Structure 1
């Protein structure tokens, strides 16, 4: 329903106007017989539009427009007569939306006016919604607990939100229109990217490689902070890149906590190393005494006990060695790694003999624990050690619905069905080097999983599932 206020000193005309406007049922018309009456009515009632004469009794129609526009933003339709013709431009300049010249047929006049009212009110409502949405968007952008920065294609700053200005303690005139590297927002020497123009181009051509960056900055007060940036290229309607928008969050506290945790882990690692060294030394001494006891004893029962002591000592030594392997898992931050390079490097550390290594990793990168190469080494070594008369080992990958599968397969003897899960237990098997148990633990740090899906008698096949967000396929530069 549209509500319209009709203003005229001619009461019979008001009645005719009201009847004509309300004829279709979608408009409700109120009336006022003077300008003051209209203003008082608008103060206490909400209307969607006004239709007024050029001379509504106590004041000029254009004066009424000015007074209405001081407090109300609604369509204003002015009806002139022969005595006021020629003032349409003045009325439009004052804020009128439409001007009509009165015709003798009032009903026909207001049928036409009703059409313009519907059009004007519809446009005003759309504009009001747009203005409201823009205000909400502006408030969200300016006050979001997030640093928002826009660069043009030459790396000049074109926008920065209020939160970012307060965060860094800067003013807009210190930043807008200037090259990023020439402003206090520039990253410190920890940033490997020196040419920001290059950075903008790379975000466009290799968004997967530059979508997320973490750099150190200085606030105006000298405080050093770390910011994690998410970068996205901006394009125009012709799909031409016009710049980059970056969203930043403060990661200083997290990094400080990580550093503190790293230092604590390093101290624990040192303590573990010293303790492990001392225990192994004592085991060596104990082993010597056990061996001397064996040589001196002739009693069969006693020799049996001594043999059990030797086995227990060996088990303790293996446990201590296991703690050495396990202590480094999760100690360092995950990082992006090229699998093809890892396989190539490991090819020189494993004795393949006549077995052919097929490296089909392409340009796949994964975000994994630095010990991931130990996992690959374990898979290669286990294939050589336990695969029997195999002829090849293939490492490849496959994009699937749930992520990416990194596959290590061979044409050896394979693994029996009943052992497919047992091989990942710590107590299973012998001479497995770093061990599939530890391999699964390493993979679990970054949310990876591993399983064996080969066919016994035809070859082993290990599948490492890497979830979305932890892998990317980089295109050749």
Structure 2
């Protein structure tokens, strides 16, 4: 690894088979403070030595253009593309020296004559070359860090949702290098599993990859903002997501950096690199700045999303209340008209007042008015409270404890996912269970479950009763349909629709009812939102 420029410690490698020249160069260089030297005389030794460790400068023979030495030079440049190369040549080697210089090498020092004078020049040139290279690398590094922070801030300003922002951050790190793969993810609440997705990979492929692995919560949930560096991914394949993809891009190391929004669960940014050298203190401080800004941005996006969801929910509530007010007023007026007609008949024929048919019709009309008024008392609760993120497993559990299901077994297989819904979500689950108790016939089992899809999630409710006839699958959600009040499933659909959830029945008649509640992507989360 290159040393700091202020220290000017230099580790040089001399590759030459001229014993006298090597001895003179080594003596001159090691007599200079901060310079250490290794010498090799053969092609095989050179390949082995360069492969074992990094060097700050190469001193090469004038025969460097020979095929065997070009292989050595290529290996050295693969380790350090900007490494200064100084060619030790005899005066009569001008042509090969010029060829070597044209190939990108830095300096040429004749190796005959006054060796003391030339060796002093050699030390000066090595120091000058290394200092120049380090200054250029420092400038490149500062420029890269500036571009990272500048592009990240630009992405934060223009982001409209969290996924878009994370993808932009991944693209920035990969495009500015040396990272070749970036992903994000974190542990789900109440589970040992974690969900991860690829943000960007070298080459800019747009394939979408997701993966679940055992959580590495000890690495991303602590208080240390610096995260952790895994130097050898191959030793942690069972814990590091997309380890095979990373290996395919030539990555051996991975940096895991926590992102800690105030109102959302901790997640992590995973950056994959060819080796650990990139993860120095400056790099980690830059990444920490990015993750801190990212956390604040995610908080802001979440608050904005909640505000928009609340606004949309309020619009839906007002729309539904106006509609139901009109419908209920129409229904009540119809029944009042019926009563007024019968009262007119009684007024014309007082003796007819004792007619049982007339009394029954008047009772039915007043009963309908009573049901309409009861319905308005239930309906006015819809949208009365702000929608919130709710844990499906917990809501199902609370619901089951409030209703007597007798001998029917209720299975709560919903995992720890969260949905953004009206607080009356519990009433939706209650009405589904009540529907099974009232209409399913011989029913012995009820099951709740959830699943994640590409565009959100689904809550599934099933029973093993008689099922719903095909021609009734849509009608059961209409107001007034059913053998009881006819309000249960209608209210369920209305409650869900406030935050964009929908419900349908797609069970097989004769095998049981199956209700699926579709949750949009912005209203479904595997992780706790708090």
TM-score range relative to shorter protein: 0.3 to 0.5
The alignment's TM-score, normalised by the length of structure 1, stands at 0.47
Higher helix share: 2
The alignment's TM-score, normalised by the length of structure 2, stands at 0.43
Larger radius of gyration: 1
**Which structure's relative contact order is higher, taking Cα pairs within 8 Å and 6+ residues apart?**
2
